[in-house]
Structure 1
C-alpha cells in the first residue's frame, strides 16, 4: 500500500509495541492521522495518548475498529483475534507494517523467512554485502523495524519476515525471496503446520527470484512455473539443486552448480545448519553483482549472532554454548547435533504446543543429561522419558550450577530450550544474557 492511499484518512494502529511505535513514527513523518488500540492498562493508555496526541483505546472491539477504514496490525496481535476477523469480514482493510514498507521502499529488497536461521541468513547477507562496499541494511523481524530502516541510506534492504508479518502483507515485490525451512513452531497460533507453511510461502508472491530448500518440501513454491533455485545439504546433488555440497581433498565444500566455492571448514560458525544457511545466503546474493573475492571473504568472516550456538568459554575441559534463540524443536536438534562432544542440555519454557518426540533420537545419541526448566518441563519430561537422565531446576542459574556439578572433561553444556522464554524472561535475549552471566560465574570460580 502506497502512503498516498492513506492521505485524508484516519487509521488505527492495533498493538503498540516495538512495531506499532515504528508505524506511529512513519505515519507521523507522512502527516497521516492515526489513533491506537492496545490492550494496556489505563495509566499506560493515558501516557501514550499524551505522547502521541491521539486517542488510545484499551480494548480490541469491532465497535472501535469500525470507525476506521484501515487497521495497521502489529505482528504480536493474532489476525485470528475475533474482533480482527469481524473487521475483515465487514470490509475494513487490515494490513501490517511490511505492507506500508512495500509501498515506500525504493531500492531492492531481499526477503527471508523460515522457522529457523532467518536472522543468521539476513545478518550474514548484510555482512557479505557490506564487505563488498554495498550499503546493505538488515531490518524487519531481526530487531530494526522495517519502517524505521527507511530513514537509513541503503542500496538494498535485507528483510527478515515472520509468518505474523506475512499474514498482513500483499504488495511486497522482493528482488529475491527465500523460505529456509518449515518446522513445528507457533502451532498455538495456527491450525496446523500446513497452514503455517502456506503463510511462509507468501513471501514468494511478487518475488522476481525465489530460493527454496530442496530438503524441505514445505518450502517449495506451489506454482511449478515459479523461477526458483534450490539449496541442499546433500552431496554432489547438482542435478537436484544448484547450491549443494561436494567432497574434495578430504574436505566438504559448498558449491554453485559444479563449482566448489569454499570449504565448510572455513566457515566461522559450526554445524551443518550453518552450512545450509551459507548456501541460502549464496543463493540470495546471486541476485546482486558481488565480486567473488568479497563474497568469499564475507562468508568466511561472518562470526554469527549472539544466542545462536554462541561459544561462551571453557573451563576444565567443559565447553559452554548459548543457543537461547533455539525456541523450537528443530532448532534444538540442530544445535545438539552441531556440538563437539557429549551434551548436557538445558531446555524448557513455553512449548507453544510443540511435539518433543522428534528430539528423542538426537538426545539418545548425543545428550548425557537433560536439565529441565520452565513452565512446560513436566510435559517435556513425559514425552522424552527414557531418552536420557533428567533433573529439574527452578531457575536458569540453578540449571547452570547443576550442569557444572555433573559435567566432566570433554562435555558440552548447551542452553537450547526448544521453547519460548516468556514464562521466566522478557525475551530470548534476556534468557541468553542471564545464562551467559551465570556461566561467567562458573568460569570465574
Structure 2
C-alpha cells in the first residue's frame, strides 16, 4: 500500500456501502482485503438486492429502505453509480461533510500501474474493448473493465502493467483522485436527461475524466470533448489528415498518424464510419503509453467488435439480422444507421425506456432510408411520428413473428432501439440475446 493510499484511509473506521449487485460486492470484497480495522455496512433500498446471497455473513445489511442513521454516522460512504448524488439521503450525508465516493475512487487510491480511461455518450465500450485487445496483442499485461465487464476493483493485481477502463458520467461524479496516463472523451450527445439538469450538467460530469490526466484524447468534430483546463496536453482524432485521422493514398483510404498512412480502412472487420473513429481513438490511446501502431496492426485487422453492437447474428436467405441492442440512446442508433449498406429494405426495431430523450433527430435520417419502422416497449409511441411506415408492437417477438414472412433477399432486420431496456428486460444484453435467439429461429425458415 502506497503512502498516498495510506493517507486516504486515515481516520476512517466506519464505511457504509450503498447499493449491492456486482459493483457493490466488488467494493465490499476490496474493503475486506485492506489492512485496516474497518466496520463495513451495506444499504440497499431493494428488498432482495442482487448479490445478497454472496455477501459475507459478517457484513451487516439493511434492505428495503434507507438507513439514515448508518449514513450519518459513517466516516466514508461508497455509493453505487446508479444512485444520483442529488438523492435526498446522499445530500444529507454530503451536508454533514462526510465524503461520498464510488468504486472508481477506491480504485484510484489503490492502483499502482498505468491507467487509460474512456468516456463519451457513445462508442466507449467498443473503444475500451479494442484498446485492451490491441494492448494484449502487443505483449502488454492488460486488464479491462470498469463500466464494461469486470468492476475496476476486481481487476487490481500487482502483475498488471496497464488498466483500460470505461467510465460513465455516473462513475466520474464520485471520482476525484484518478491519475490517468491518457483519457479519451469520445463525444457528447443527449442521454440520461432523466438524471441531469441539461446537457451542460451532463457534459461537466464527463469532463471530470481530465482532472488528473497526462494526455487528453479528444474529438476534433466535437468541441465539448476538449478539456476545460487549457494546460492539458491534447491528442485529437477525426476524419481529416491531422493528428490521428484518415488519408487517401492511391485511391485507398487509410487510418493515419500525422498524415502518414498506418492501416488500410478496407482491412477493418468493423462496420461503419463510427468504427473508423473508434479505431483511431484506440491507436491514439496506446500511442500515449508507448505502444506503437506497428505493434497492433494484426490484431486490429482481426477484431470483429463487441457483442450487441452492430453485430451480424444471422445471414440466411440473403437477409441480414443485426443485433445493436447496446444502442441505448439516439446518437448510438444514428451512428449505426450511418454505417449500414443494405441492398433491400431495412426493418428497424426501436423502443424501450426513452430516459426523457428527444427522438426527432432520427426523422431526417430515416426519411432517406428504405425503412420499415417497428416500435415497441413502454415509450414505443414516441417513435410513431418519425416515419410514415411506423407501426406499434408490444414486443420484439411479436415484431419478428409478424414480419419474417415478408422478408426478401437483400433486406436487413436490425434491433437498434435508441432506448434503455429495463421495461421488458434485465439489461441490454438480455434484450440482444432475445433478439439473437429469435433471429436464429426465424431466419431458419428463410434459408
**What TM-score results when the alignment is normalised by the length of structure 2?**
0.93
SS in 2 for 1:71: strand
Cα separation, 1, equivalents of 2:50 and 2:332: 36
Counterpart contact for 1:45–1:57, Cα < 8 Å: no
How do residues 125-274 of structure 1 correspond to structure 2 at under 5 angstroms?
A: 125-151=131-157, 153-233=159-239, 235-236=240-241, 238=242, 242-274=243-275
Cα separation, 1, equivalents of 2:45 and 2:298: 47
Partner of 2:26: 22
Counterpart contact for 1:343–1:412, Cα < 8 Å: yes
Cα separation, 2, equivalents of 1:304 and 1:99: 29
Counterpart contact for 1:212–1:231, Cα < 8 Å: yes
Alpha-carbon deviations, 1:68-106, whole Å to 9, x = none? 021001111111111111211221100000000001000
Cα separation, 1, equivalents of 2:52 and 2:269: 49
Counterpart contact for 1:363–1:388, Cα < 8 Å: no
Q: Which of 3, 9, 23 lines up with 1:6 in the alignment?
A: 9
Alpha-carbon distance, 1:337 to partner:
1.8
Q: Which deviates more, 392-401 or 43-52?
A: 43-52
Alpha-carbon distance, 1:57 to partner:
4.9
Partner of 1:434: 434
How do residues 24-423 of structure 1 correspond to structure 2 at under 5 angstroms?
A: 24-30=28-34, 31=36, 32-41=38-47, 51-151=57-157, 153-233=159-239, 235-236=240-241, 238=242, 242-341=243-342, 342-382=345-385, 384=386, 387-423=387-423
Counterpart contact for 2:245–2:259, Cα < 8 Å: no
Unaligned runs of 5+ in 2: none
Alpha-carbon distance, 1:407 to partner:
2.5
Q: 1:49/1:439 Cα in 2 relative to 1: closer, same or farther (>3 Å)?
A: closer
Counterpart contact for 1:174–1:207, Cα < 8 Å: yes
Cα separation, 1, equivalents of 2:248 and 2:48: 63
Counterpart contact for 1:128–1:298, Cα < 8 Å: yes
Cα separation, 2, equivalents of 1:152 and 1:391: 54
SS in 2 for 1:35: strand
Q: 1:28/1:246 Cα in 2 relative to 1: closer, same or farther (>3 Å)?
A: same
Aligned length: 437
Q: 1:292/1:55 Cα in 2 relative to 1: closer, same or farther (>3 Å)?
A: closer
Partner of 1:444: 444
Alpha-carbon deviations, 1:36-64, whole Å to 9, x = none? 11012279898677734324354235433
Counterpart contact for 1:349–1:374, Cα < 8 Å: yes
Counterpart contact for 1:351–1:420, Cα < 8 Å: yes
Counterpart contact for 1:12–1:71, Cα < 8 Å: yes
Counterpart contact for 2:18–2:80, Cα < 8 Å: yes
Counterpart contact for 1:46–1:56, Cα < 8 Å: no
Q: Which deviates more, 122-131 or 390-399?
A: 390-399
Cα separation, 1, equivalents of 2:77 and 2:180: 24
Unaligned runs of 5+ in 1: none
